[in-house]
A = this chain, B = another copy of it.
Amino acid sequence: MADKPEISRKAVYRLSIYSRCLEQLIDDGRELVSSTALAAAAGVKSSQLRRDLAYFGQFGMRGKGYQVEGLYQAIREGLGSDRESLKPVILVGAGNLGRALLCYDGFRKEGFEVKAVFDVAADELRDHGIQVPLFHEREMLEFVRENKINMAILCVPAEAAAEVVADLVAAGIQGILNFSPAVLKVPKSVVVSQVDLASELENLSYFISQKKIFEE
C-alpha cells in the first residue's frame, strides 16, 4: 500500500485541468512544454504546477521541460483514469436539470457513462425522450448493487435530497455529484462534490456589486 500522499481535493482538481491542457498541446503537435508555459495555460503559478506534479512523481527534464505525451500519460495514470472502460454512474432525479444533464456529452468525453436514471415519477416521464433506462427510485438499491455502481449524480429537489442520499449510501454509493441545493449528511467514507448553480450566480453578483461600489 502506497504511503498516503495527502493530496488535496483542490490539487486533484488542478491535475484534471493540466491533463486537459496537455491534450490541447498534443493536438497542437507540441513535444515539449515547460512548467511555466503549462502553468500559464492552466491559469496557475509554475511553482504550484511543479508541486502538484510532485504528488505523482518526477516527470521533467531539468533544463528542458516535460515531454507532453509522457506527462499526460503520467497524470492520467495518477488520477486513475485508464480510459479503457467508461466508468458507470447513475443519475437520480429526472426534472429539468436532470434531463438536461442526460443530454450533456461532456461526461462521456471524460470517461463516464450514465447507466440509468431514477425518479419517483418514472411513469409520467416515459415519453420525455429519455435515452437512458428509466426506473422508479425504489429500484435504485438493487440496480446499484447488481451493477456495482459507485457514483451518483443527484438532481432531486432540496426537500427530497436527504432521503435519497440515505438510500444511495445504503446501496453502497461512494461518491455523489450533488446539484440539489441542500447540504448532504453522509458518512466520512462518502465523497461529495457540491455544484450549487444558484449560489455561484449569487457569488458573482455580490462581487460585481462590490466592484461597482469601489468604482463610484
Q: Mark A residues whose CB is within 8 Å of B.
A: 1-2, 4, 9, 12-13, 16-17, 20-21, 41-43, 79-81, 87, 89, 96-97, 99-101, 103-107, 109-112, 150-151, 153, 158, 174-177, 181, 183-185, 189, 191, 193, 195-209, 211, 213-214, 216
Knowing A100-B97, A101-B100, the reply to whether A183 touches B9 (Cβ < 8 A) is no
The residue among A16, A107, A197, A205 with the most chain B CB atoms within 10 A of its own CB is A205
A100 touches B96 (CB 8 A): yes
Chain B residues positioned under 8 Å from A200 (CB to CB) = 13, 177, 193, 195
Chain B residues positioned under 8 Å from A81 (CB to CB) = 202, 205
Chain B residues positioned under 8 Å from A209 (CB to CB) = 80
B110 touches A100 (CB 8 A): no
Q: Which of B96, B185, B206 contacts A103 (CB 8 A)?
A: B96
A16 touches B199 (CB 8 A): yes
Chain B residues positioned under 8 Å from A185 (CB to CB) = 43
The residue among A100, A150, A185 with the most chain B CB atoms within 10 A of its own CB is A100
A15 CA to B184 CA, complexed, in Å: 17
A1 touches B214 (CB 8 A): yes
A195 CA to B13 CA, complexed, in Å: 11
Chain B residues positioned under 8 Å from A79 (CB to CB) = 202, 205-206
Which 6 pairs between the two chains have the least Cβ-Cβ distance?
A100-B100, A175-B204, A110-B198, A96-B103, A16-B199, A174-B208
B96 touches A104 (CB 8 A): yes
